[in-house]
Amino acid sequence: MKASSKDIYQRGSDRLNTYKEVIVRTKDLPLRCPMSDDAVWCSHPRVSLAIESMEHQEISCPYCGTKYRLED
């Protein structure tokens, strides 16, 4: 899954895993954090996030707190 600048509400450095809120699409599922284009050297363990089963289709990463929101 690759986040574009239009999908990011708050953004830090381009590849330093500093995203705060990311909009994902159904085509991007399954959702994992950190995302595949994030820098590996400063990442936490990769975790799967079951956003599609959440009531409001929002979920936060338990490691870094990045908030993901599913939109179509």
- The per-residue pLDDT for range 8-64, each reduced to its tens digit, is 444 444 445 566 899 999 998 999 998 877 776 678 899 999 999 999 999 999 998
Higher per-residue confidence, 62 vs 72: 62
CA distances from 54 to 44, 58, 60, 71 (A): 23, 6, 11, 13
d(CA 8, CA 28): 14
